[in-house]
Amino acid sequence: MSILIKGGTVVSATGAVAADVLVDGEAIAAVAAPGTLSVVDEVIDATGKYVLPGGIDVHTHMEMPFGGTFAADTFETGTVAAAFGGTTTIVDFAVQAKGTSLLGTLDKWHEKADGNCAIDYGFHMIVSDVNDTTLKEMDACIANGVTSFKMFMAYPGVFYATDGEILLAMQQAARNGSTIMMHAENGIAIDQLVAQAIGRGDTAPLYHGLTRPPELEGEATSRAIQLAKVTGAPLYIVHLSAAQALAAVTEARDAGQNVFAETCPQYLFLTLEDLARPEFEGAKYVCSPPLRPAEHGAALWRGLRTNDLSVVSTDHCPFCFKGQKELGIGDFAKIPNGMPGVEHRMDLLHQGVLRGEITVTRWVEIASTTPARMFGLYPRKGVIAAGSDADIVIYDPAAIQTLSAATHHMNVDYSAYEGWEITGRVDVTLSRGRVVVSGGVLHGSPGHGKFLPRDLNQYLV
């Protein structure tokens, strides 16, 4: 099956040009001047539209066990929602439970995902139990295409790792070339603030934000950077939300250290005020790190422009308001942490383009090309070029849409952006040459997505 996408503007990390794209089977066969390609089975008219490499969301949590419940999107519902929003690859987190093996965990996550994804997918591994066996298993994970490991300085008693354990895992990563992804918040200090707040009777969702101050994200980020420096491990700070943490990353990058960071749309578009919404509505916005006062968002946009922030992922970890977020009525510490977002990352970042925060090429770079390089998927993914997978999004930059739980495809009963009218919308999503979404209709199927064994971080020299 061959498809010609004609008349559009092909956007890459380096430019935007009028060009036609020929898809042959699962791959891109050619990118050429308008009108120069022919002989095809199907033509898609992209006049007036952007032709983008499919979005790559390197931070999702489908079906994640967390906070006494499970994230509400399955691999099926979450990847379908991703496709509607122009994301054609996710990298999700396999979660090692304490006392279990990394390879056993990987098998379990394959059981959940294989045959159920509408788009291609890979895994990172969450390491919550550091010991001689699991350190060796990190090498085996890499051999199985899982080349990045997330650790937590937050959540004592759950995923938390001590500085000593982090040091050991980083030493292993320095030896095997993998990347350590860090949830950088000082969980030990935060737990004291949380206990004090609950003791005072300050139990509303807002106190989730007030007990996780930005200084404690900045402190943990600096500590992770120093541990990475001592060990020589590549470090990627996940879901960075605070100006203090960004300053630490900037300093390390200026000094030439292999330190990278991502932020997420919720930290760019939402604020601490959302956590203060009445009637327990603030619970919809509980995630960690928490939403911050607006000035942090301004710093994050700046960081995206200067490349001190290299990636925007979603940290998609949806919990329904009814029955899940409600677990924390009367005690904010029991609200499952996480927000839905996999469907709207491309659209929200497009608002950043329209507002002049980033250019259209930077949009593609932070949402597709850099994630592909950072997590060993380039040039199979992240670029429209001959030989690459035909993961392509035809995006209408002038369409108007209203975000709502009534119309989104994520399996969650609220939208964090309910009623927002935004400009731009996915018209067509192709995954490996197959039209999976067109004109708001699903054509794909859950079994289409393939597991992606990944190479090491391609930014390392």
Kindly list the residues in this chain that would bind ligand URP in the complex (CB under 6 A).
61, 183, 239, 287-288, 315, 317, 337-338
For residues 9 and 51, the answer to whether their CB atoms sit within 8 Å is yes
Question: CB of 233: closest distance to Zn ion in angstroms?
Answer: 18
Chosen from ligand URP, Zn ion, none, partner binding at 287 (C-beta under 5 to 8 Å by type):
ligand URP
Is the CB of 234 or the CB of 338 nearer to ligand URP? Answer: 338
Cis-peptide into 446, omega within 30 deg: no
Question: CB of 67: closest distance to ligand URP in angstroms?
Answer: 9
| Size of site (CB under 5 A) for Zn ion | 2
Is the CB of 154 or the CB of 227 nearer to ligand URP? Answer: 154
Rule CB under 5 A: is residue 343 a binding residue for Zn ion? no
Cis-peptide into 379, omega within 30 deg: yes
User: 117 in the Ramachandran plot: left (φ > 0), alpha (ψ -120 to 50) or beta?
Assistant: beta
Is the CB of 53 or the CB of 340 nearer to ligand URP? Answer: 340
For residues 303 and 246, the answer to whether their CB atoms sit within 8 Å is yes
Question: CB of 453: closest distance to ligand URP in angstroms?
Answer: 23
Question: CB of 60: closest distance to Zn ion in angstroms?
Answer: 8
Is the CB of 310 or the CB of 431 nearer to Zn ion? Answer: 310
Is the CB of 19 or the CB of 220 nearer to Zn ion? Answer: 220
Rule CB under 5 A: is residue 124 a binding residue for Zn ion? no
Is the CB of 228 or the CB of 437 nearer to Zn ion? Answer: 228
Question: CB of 61: closest distance to ligand URP in angstroms?
Answer: 5
Rule CB under 5 A: is residue 73 a binding residue for Zn ion? no
Site string for Zn ion, 161-200 (x = CB under 5 A): ----------------------x-----------------
Question: CB of 239: closest distance to ligand URP in angstroms?
Answer: 6
Question: CB of 354: closest distance to Zn ion in angstroms?
Answer: 27
Task: Select from 262, 315, 391, 427 the one that contacts Zn ion (CB under 5 A).
Answer: 315
Residues 79 and 24: their CA atoms lie apart, in Å, by: 24
Chosen from ligand URP, Zn ion, none, partner binding at 432 (C-beta under 5 to 8 Å by type):
none
Sites of contact with Zn ion (CB under 5 A): 183, 315
